[in-house]
Amino acid sequence: MGNRVVIALGGNALGNSPAEQLDLIKNTGKAIVDLIEGGHEVVITHGNGPQVGMIKVATDFSANKGGGTPEVPFPEASAMSQGYIGYHLQQALENEFTKRKLNKPCVSVITQTLVNADDEAFSNPTKPVGAFFSEEEAKKIEAETGHKFVEDSGRGWRWVVASPVPEKIVEAETIQQLVESGVVVISTGGGGIPVVDHDGVLEGVPAVIDKDRSAALMADQIGADKLVILTAVEKVAINFNKPDQQELSEMTVAEAQRHIADGQFAPGSMLPKIEACLNFVEGHADRTAIVTSLEKAGDAISGTAGTSITA
C-alpha cells in the first residue's frame, strides 16, 4: 500500500533561470513519477528563492529606473514565482505521465500561509530580497516607505523582510480533497505567500517563510505519512566535512535534539530541515520524515537510503 507523501524540493532541483529550470526539472519529474508509479499519493512543495528574487529585482529595476512599470509588491512576486514554477513542474510531470501511459491529473495551487501579525520576526527582519541599491538610494526608499535596508556582502544595499513562523496552510483542506480524489498537487511554493488575518480578512505581507517548515505544516494538515525533504546530499551527517564525518541512516527525535544542542547542523542549511522534520514527527509514532537527495528519493521511501527521522 502506498503512502501519502509530501516532497519538499530543494533549490538544487530547480534552476536560477527559466531556461535552466525547465531543463533541470525533467529529472525532477522522472523521480517524482517513479514514486507515483509506486502507488504513493504525492504532494510537491518547492523553494522559490532565486525565482522570486529574479522577479522582484527585474520589476524593482524597471520601476525605479524609469521603465514605466509599477512596483510589484513582495507577496505578488511570490505568487508569480509559484505560478511559473508550478507550470514547469506540471509540464514535466504531465510529459512523463504521457511517456509512461499513466492517466494521472496534476495541478498547481497558489498557496497562502497564515502567519501571526505579532510574530517577533516582524520587529527584526533578516532576509534580504530584491534589487541592490546604492546607500543613497536605499536611504531615500527607506524614508519614503519605512522599509528596512541593509548592506549585503559588499554588493550594495537591499530590503530586508521578516521570516515569521508559519501557523496554517490556508488551502490545505482543498489540497487534501484533491489528493483524495487522485490528483498530484504542487503547492506551498517558497513556503507559501505570507498572509495575516485581520478579523477574518486575509492580507498579504512582505515576508519569507521557511519552505521546509511550511512543507512540514502542510504534511501535518493533510494527514501525510511521510515528509521527504530533498537536498544536495543523500544522508544527514554529523561532524560534517571533518575527518570523523559520520553519515546517519536513522535518528530519533531525542537523538536529533542532542545533535542540534551539540551544534552539528548548520543554521543556514541543514538545521531548518531537521527542525521541520521534528515538527512533523514529534508525538506521532506513525510518521516518518526523511532527508535525502532527489536521486535517492524512491529508495529512501522504501527504507534503503537517506536519513529517516522518527518519534
List residues with catalytic annotation.
11-12, 127, 211, 273
What single letter denotes the amino acid at residue 144?
Answer: E
**Contact at 8 Å (CB) between 100 and 33?**
yes
Strands 112-115 and 201-204: unpaired
130: region left, alpha or beta (phi > 0 left; psi from -120 to 50 alpha): left
Here the cell at position 92 is 514535466
**Contact at 8 Å (CB) between 14 and 51?**
yes
Nearest to 91 by CA among 141, 21, 172: 21
